[in-house]
Structure 1
Amino acid sequence: MKALRRHWPRIAITLLPVLLALAHSTGAWRLGAIDRLDHLVYDTRLRATMPRTLDPRVVIVDVDDASLTRQGQWPWSRDKLARLTEELVGRQQVAVLGFDVMFIEPDRSSGLDKLRQIASGPLRDMPGLAAGIERLAPALDNDATFARALEGRRVALGYYFTRTEKPSAKGQLPATPLLQPEAFPPGHAYATAWNGFGANLPVLADAAPASGFVNTLVSSAGDGVIRAAPLIARYEGDAERPGYYESLGLAVYRLANGRPPVLPAFASGGAAPRLQSLLVGRLRVPVDETASMQVPFRGPGGANGGSFRYVAAADVLEGRLAPGELKDKIVLVGATAPGLQDLRATPVGAGFPGVEVHANVVSAMLDHRLLAVPDYAAGYEVLSLLAAGLVLALGLSLLPATRALLLGIATVAALVGANAWLYQDHGLVLPLAASLAMAALAFVLNMGWGYFIESRERRGLVRLFGTYVPPQLVDEMLTDPGRYSMHAESKQMTVMFCDMRGFTRLSEQLAPAELQAFLNTLFSRLTNVISAHRGTVDKYMGDCVMAFWGAPVDTPDHATLAVRAALEMAHTVRDINQAQRAIGRPEISVGIGINSGVMCVGDMGSVARRSYTVVGDAVNLASRLEGLSAHYGVEIVASGATRELAPGCLWQELDSVLVKGKAQAVAVYTPLAADTDQAQGPAAEQRSQHLQRWAQVLEAYRRQDWAVGRTLLDPLLAADAKKVLYQLYAQRLASMALRPQDPEWDGATRFETK
């Protein structure tokens, strides 16, 4: 919760794209750019998942440039189309034949109209001429010839609908619509509505068993791309023939499957029933609000696209195909010649043959490979936005940059993966663009806020504390830079002074450059130890290092960390002395004073020069204790306050002292080990016995029982005669034995100098 409160501005700025995307998804504020991106995602996904395999069941007889060169310009005479039909239905034995071609105007290429004009004109007086011409009319009428070729065959003709202010109707629609208006609930549009048409001649419309419109709808994105094909359309321009008519693709599919009935299926809920699908026999075809199905294109279009076999119409007319070569195939006759203007823009190509759009519709229905835009698509998008938005808002704001980047990539991958899985395995077309745009914008805004706002605070924090505080503590401070400042505050801390003994003698034997190199090495190693134990280096004072624990980062175990650092620093100096002995240089020793207590920490100094430091009586005491280390022959002297805050260390009491500037005596100790748990074995047992005896020595000394104290001390001197501490107390006990007991004596040793 603390992290959430700290980062709430960054979380809020990251949630802004989520709100914008939700406004788009719910329709409160549609963004055209998101819609265009969604269509781009749809097209990319479609191209990536196309089977790109040949469907041998569907063949396209192509009126291409080569056919026009060999058979003459379009339109061809109807007797030629009759021969094409006879060849396909008779000799080739195709299952179904569909014409993506309209026959709106009569064929006048036979000359029958010219003969009738002559018979009613200059030769009208010739007896029986007009009657003879009419007897020959069926043989001379190309339209009638074509109609006879269509009769009794499974052939579907194409036509188109129009919608204009002044409706026009040419040709003849099918005798009855596929669905009557009564099949749909009133008061709502369930398909595209048209008021005019351009259909086939009545003689042809009556002869063909089926007809279907060839209209295609461009995408609502306004890019002119065909992504869906209407299966039914509503005609409302003729009071005698209102209703819903089928498309050419649906008509061809139904002819190939015994013309099953078509029934609309509606989704309940909402203000009005929503057309959800069309039941074509047992096949359920999902449709959208325009009664269109999403066209799952098989692959690139054209003769070289590989989705369908293309046969030149001229080859069929000239009998170049073996008999029965197209047996039981579904054949669509269409034009790919550029001059005939039947090329369309689709997601898989800009010059896609219009006839192949219908072929893809038929192929998809045969395979049951259908795509659906479910009625819960908007709800899915809202849930995706909320889930991904919350994950990004929290994760990007709370995680480090590298993990935040990985989280962003993982979130986008999850969105894309789920969308692709639902599309590929279940045929569901669900929106993705709003989620992708939201994720990208949320990442940019979040990273921008982190860099320009929070990084500025962090850089300021590094400038303030970087030279004082260990890098690991700076990293902790960067998680909440607002908590830290250079303002002075009083808090419980531990401070250390570390002074070098024998430095003067060393400096006399070294050149300035050598001395500088030695000091740099020494201070670097000691500073590394302090940093490793989470300490803050205050300053270097000649041959002395000052450090403290507990600021600027709160450190509850500051005393324990300081003691452990002091022990390791003493060990480091011993290692350095070993190297000094190896090269014949004098050794140095270390004196460390440690004290814990309330002290003031902050940015202090003059206008010209300031530093982040600690001041107070507790600091002064630590400085005094550092000076006592040589007196007691130990490397580290710590106060009783530090000992109480570091009970896990192994301690030996040294004395009770009154240092300069203090009115009360202070118990002082030296740490023997950083962790009492490490004291195991015979040596540890012996040390424990020595410490117990030493405590008895101090007790006898403080009650002025000099003889007992000396008796207790003798075994310790025998075991460690060189120990300065034992020698010091041996001298004290010897001198005290000559004096009578003092009832006002408190056992404290007074030091008037540092």
Structure 2
Amino acid sequence: MSTREPLAFTLKRSGARWALGLAIVLALAGHALSRYDIRFIDSLDAMIYDAKVRLFMPRTTDTRIVILDIDEKSLAELGRWPWDRARMAALVDTLFSRERIAVLGFDMVFAQADASSGLPVLDELARGALADDAAYRQALDRLAPRLDYDQRFADALAGHPVVLGFYFSNRDASSGAIPAPLMSASAFGAHPLTLFDWTSYGGNLPVLQQAAKRAGYFNPVIDFDGSVRRVPLVTAFRDGVYGALSLEVIRALFGDASVTPVFDDAADPSAPLAALALTTPRGTRTIAVDANGAALVPYRGATGSFPYYSIADVLAQRIPANALTGKIALIGTTAPGLMDQRTTPVGEVYPGVEVNATLIGGMLDGTIRFRPPFAPALQASLLALAGLAMIFLWPWRFPARATMLSAALFAIVVAADLLAFARLGWSIPTASLLLAVLALYVLNMSYGYFVEARAKRHFATLFGQYVPPELVEEMSRHPEDYSMAGRRAELTVLFCDVLGFTAIAETLEPEALARLMNEYLGTMTEVIRAHRGTLDKYIGDAIMGFWGAPVDDPEHARNAVAAALGMRAALVELNRTLMARGWPTLWIGIGINTGPMTVGDMGSHVRKAYTVMGDAVNVAARLEGLTRLFDIDIIVGEATREQVKDIVFREIDRVRVKGRVAPIAVFEPQPTHEHGDALARWHAALAHYRAREWDEAQTLLATLAAQYPERQVYAMYRKRIDALRGVALPADWDCVSEFDAK
């Protein structure tokens, strides 16, 4: 094992990956803190926000607010727009006197005087050709009040809770009249004014504005993609602050309630605008807004979330009785030719008047969601935490585990975002955080595949022909721990040989023999690799493998024995295949031993091999040779037996093999075809044998031989006893069998 240099090696292996990951996190954090703008992330945030709106919108109808629609039916029955102000006056009178509505809002501007009655022409005649006609002037004076449609409309507006509409602009000169400001800009004190600011307006005729007194602008915020997601409830113009149409309707509903700004931190002069406090006779309502004074539109559903009534039906009394009683009524248009359609998260064609109705409903219910002032800092903090965790703590060397953790983190972010949106009303952009999770996942997985795969290929080159792929994978995670240099270690080694191979080879053609051996060696090798074994070499028909290197394996002895049992089972299946082909069946002998040995890359400059050497290796080879003498397919050394506690063994003998002075006990894994009582009889027979109690041993061995005649070991011991009966054994007889064969 090589000397570890953790920091230097880790920096060499992962430094570039860390640097790229940190660059991604810093870039996304800069966007989250508004240091610069990345349009793709803005687009993704908008898509996520729209999806959340659609997911959580109630899809119910709000009957407190009705929309009086200038629709195609109204245009067909009442004529093209604009209608004369006398008809508008009649509409207002009908709504308040007959239908008894609570508040009326106009989502439109009355900017031009109404000349449809002909009064301007009559006035011009009175000043010109008919100036001297007293009768004409008297008649005109009587008719003028009836023909002054603007004044008639103004008279209808006066004294009722009516809110006119107007708009702000940065292009044209101002026209018409607008109401007094909602509040002075000084109401913001030392706080910076971050409201939208304008240079001009388009208002109503002064006579109408003076009569109605109230008015609200209907400018939405058109986002970069053309969608309306928020509307500024307050906006700045010159030295005043004005209210939106929806806010002014709410104020009118509550008797011209006062509005004051609420800041995120009143003690901090730089704190952004956080809410508007609406003081009503029923208490104070807080309406969440962002730093621009804008509120997110709480869409209820697709078009039609409020009752619509055609104005033609209202004037013709074709609507249900009391349908408008006590309701907030907004006059607007859905007729395509009048161009009051918006793109929104819930529909590409959405009436502008319904946007205002939605805001009014949200203010009444307190369901307007908002983006908390701390959202940018929260985004940056979460980016830092998640990014650093994924860069430095994620188990990227375990792709499945890293994938599960990344997916879990992604799901947690999504779930937390949905929960905050649904329960707290927070709209927090999460695209940066989600992109960070995805980008870091892709980066690290790609880096591991394209860069760190080189280390795996290197290890595969060195160890792949010996070690199972899963061990190569394990080694490549910490390559600094492994080398092919020779070292001393306690390992377990296995030798497997085909019994009677020479006779088999003589019965087959060379091509058939090659196919048979390839199939046999392939089958046995797969079993060894499946039990974490390292293939050492093939020696003709023999196989040599070992456990515990190059990857440390505390269970090396057990895995070797399990592999031998697996080879025994695999041979049964293989022999069925061989018999079906008419080929001879195979029988194998396996010897296993555990002990200290040298392992490493050994050989010359011409050829090297990763192998094991030592006395324990030689003993394993001798044990494999004993399988022929005992007619037992697996023989395990004493050191191996001591380390394997969960497999039943029977002791076969105590032997002294060639090349060793010290005797060792040898064992056989319990044969699956023998009953449990056979093991007890055998151990009892072995005890009698070592105690020189020949008769008792013979009796038990005879029973076992009759029960299992194919087991030659019983017959071998019976012959030994017959040979020993007439021999004067020394007092220190150790019952050890001598074997000189290799």
The alignment's TM-score, normalised by the length of structure 2, stands at 0.82
Write the distance in 2 (CA, Å) between the matches of 1:56 and 1:545.
Answer: 86
Q: Deviations over 1:95-141 (max 9, x none)?
A: 22111222223223333333333333334344586576456433332
- Does residue 1:248 correspond to 2:248, yes or no? no
CA distance in 2, matches of 1:87, 1:18: 62
Q: 1:733 to 1:169 in 2, by over 3 A?
A: same
For 2:572 and 2:225, the matched residues in 1 are separated by: 81
**208-217 or 105-114, which moves further after superposition?**
105-114
Quick check: 2:601–2:608 contact (8 Å CA) kept in 1? no
Separation (CA, whole Å) in 2 of partners of 1:350 and 1:424: 24
**Alignment match, 1:592:** 591
- 5 Å-filtered alignment, 1:496-511, equals 496-509=494-507
Aligned to 1:671: 667
AA partner of residue 326 (structure 2): D
Moved more, 482-491 or 330-339: 482-491
Give 3-state SS (helix, strand or coil) of 1:327's partner. Answer: coil
Q: Compute the displacement of 1:294 (Å).
A: 0.8
Instruction: Give per-residue Cα distances to partners, 1:466-495, cap 9 Å, x unaligned.
Output: 443345545544554564555555544333
Alignment correspondent of 2:30: 23
The corresponding residue for 1:43 is: 50
Worse overlay, 642-651 or 275-284: 642-651
CA 1:624 to 1:263, structure 2 compared with 1: closer, same or farther past 3 Å?
same
Q: Secondary structure at the match of 1:397?
A: coil
- Tell me how large the CA RMSD over aligned residues is: 4.4
Q: Which one-letter code corresponds to 1:307 in the other structure?
A: S
Contact 2:309 2:319 in 1 (8 A): no
Q: 2:175 aligns with which of 170, 174, 177?
A: 170
- Aligned-partner residue type, residue 191 of structure 1: L
Contact residue 640 and residue 667 of structure 1 kept, 8 A? no
Q: Tell me, in whole angstroms, the C-alpha distance in 2 between the residues paired with 1:563 and 1:504.
A: 27
Q: What is the distance in 1 between the residues matched to 2:584 and 2:324?
A: 105
The size of the alignment, in residue pairs, is: 712
Structure 2 CA distance for partners of 1:685 and 1:365, relative to 1, 3 Å: same
Q: Which runs of 5+ in 2 are unaligned?
A: 703-713
Question: 1:507-546 counterparts in 2 under 5 A?
Answer: 507-509=505-507, 519=517, 523=521, 526-527=524-525, 529-546=527-544
Q: Helix, strand or coil for the counterpart of 1:443?
A: helix
Please name the residue that 1:234 is paired with.
236
Give the C-alpha shift of residue 331 in structure 1.
1.6
Aligned mates of 1:80, 1:564 — CA distance in 2: 99
Q: Indicate conservation of the 8 Å contact 2:289/2:295, yes or no.
A: yes
Q: Residues 390 and 440 of structure 2 are in contact (CA less than 8 Å); yes or no, is this contact kept in structure 1?
A: yes
For residue 36 of structure 1, give the secondary structure of its aligned residue in structure 2. Answer: helix
Please give the alpha-carbon distance, in whole angstroms, between the structure 1 residues aligned to 2:569 and 2:315.
104
Q: 1:46 to 1:336 in 2, by over 3 A?
A: same
SS in 2 for 1:416: helix
Q: Which residue of 2 aligns with 1:370?
A: 368
Paired position in structure 2 for 1:549: 547
The residue aligned with 1:197 is 201
| Matched residue type, 2:502 | T
**Residue type at the aligned position of 2:92:** T
* Higher mean C-alpha deviation, range 371-380 or range 456-465: 456-465
1:429 offset after TM fit, Å?
A: 1.1
Q: Secondary structure at the match of 1:23?
A: helix
In 2 relative to 1, CA 627–347 (structure 1 residues): closer, same or farther, beyond 3 Å? closer
Q: Is the 8 A contact 2:372 2:427 kept in 1?
A: yes
Q: Equivalent residue for 1:85?
A: 92
**Does 1:71 pair with 2:78?**
yes
Whether contact under 8 Å (1:116, 1:130) holds in the other structure is no
Counterpart code for 2:536: D
Gaps of 5+ in 1: 237-241, 697-710, 742-746
Q: Name the stretch that deviates more: 513-522 or 74-83.
A: 513-522
Check the 8 A contact 2:622/2:658 in 1, yes or no: no
Spell out the pairing of 1:277-676 with structure 2 (5 A cutoff).
277-280=275-278, 281=280, 282-300=284-302, 305-321=303-319, 324-386=322-384, 388-389=386-387, 392-393=390-391, 397-398=395-396, 400-462=398-460, 464-470=462-468, 473-474=471-472, 476-477=474-475, 479-480=477-478, 483-484=481-482, 486=484, 489-509=487-507, 519=517, 523=521, 526-527=524-525, 529-563=527-561, 565-566=563-564, 588=587, 590=589, 592=591, 594=593, 596-602=595-601, 611-615=609-613, 619-620=617-618, 622-624=620-622, 626-627=624-625, 654-657=654-657, 659=659, 665-673=661-669
1:46 partner SS: helix
Is this contact kept in 1: 2:486–2:598, CA < 8 A? no
Report the 3-state secondary structure (helix = DSSP H, G, I; strand = E; otherwise coil) of the residue aligned with 1:170: coil
User: Match of 1:333, SS?
Assistant: strand
Q: Aligned pair in 2 of structure 1 residues 383, 496: CA closer, same or farther (>3 Å)?
A: same
Tell me the distance in 2 between the aligned counterparts of 1:585 and 1:291.
91
| Structure 1 contact 13–446 (Cα < 8 Å) conserved | no
1:713–1:246: structure 2 CA closer, same or farther, 3 Å change rule?
A: same
CA distance in 1, matches of 2:309, 2:609: 90
- CA shift, 1:155, in A, is 1.3
Find the aligned partners of 1:178 and 1:102 in 2 and give their Cα distance: 19
Counterpart CA distance in 1 for 2:453 and 2:534 is 23
Task: Give 3-state SS (helix, strand or coil) of 1:79's partner.
Answer: helix
Alignment correspondent of 2:220:
216
Find the aligned partners of 1:341 and 1:532 in 2 and give their Cα distance: 74
1:264 and 2:261 aligned: yes
Distance in 2 (CA, whole Å) between partners of 1:734 and 1:578 is 47
User: What is the match of residue 709 of structure 2?
Assistant: none
Tell me if the contact between 2:597 and 2:616 (Cα under 8 Å) persists in the aligned partners. yes
Corresponding position of 2:126: 119
Q: Distance in 2 between matches of 1:246 and 1:581?
A: 95
| CA distance in 1: counterparts of 2:585 and 2:332, whole angstroms | 104
**Residue equivalent to 2:711:** none
Partner amino acid for 2:175? K
TM-score by length of 1: 0.80
Cα displacement (A) at 1:692: 5.8
Contact 2:686 2:697 in 1 (8 A): no
Report Cα offsets for 1:178-237 as digits up to 9, x if no partner: 223343213520532334322222221121142212222222xx223221112222221x
- 8 A Cα contact 1:599 1:617, kept in partner: no
Displacement of 1:287: 0.7
Q: Output the CA distance in 1 between the equivalents of 2:285 and 2:388.
A: 41
CA–CA separation in structure 1 for the residues paired with 2:361 and 2:700: 102
CA deviation after TM superposition for structure 1 residue 416, in Å: 1.8
Instruction: Tell me the CA shift for residue 603 of structure 1.
Output: 7.0
1:155 is aligned to 162
| Paired AA for residue 245 in structure 2 | L
Moved more, 462-471 or 357-366: 462-471
More divergent stretch after superposition (329-338 vs 458-467): 458-467
Tell me the CA shift for residue 516 of structure 1: 5.5
Aligned residues with identical type, % of pairs? 36
User: In the alignment, is the contact (CA less than 8 A) between 1:597 and 1:641 conserved in 2?
Assistant: no
Deviations 1:58-80 (A, max 9, x none): 22222334433443333332222
1:94 aligns with 2:96: no
Alpha-carbon separation, structure 2, partners of 1:317 and 1:578: 97
Say which SS state the counterpart of residue 188 (structure 1) adopts: coil
Q: Does 1:188 align with 2:192?
A: yes
Deviation at 1:286?
Answer: 0.4
Contact 1:469 1:536 in 2 (8 A): yes
What is aligned with 2:710? none
Determine if contact 2:175/2:202 at 8 Å carries over to the other structure. Answer: yes
For residue 452 of structure 2, give the secondary structure of its aligned residue in structure 1: helix
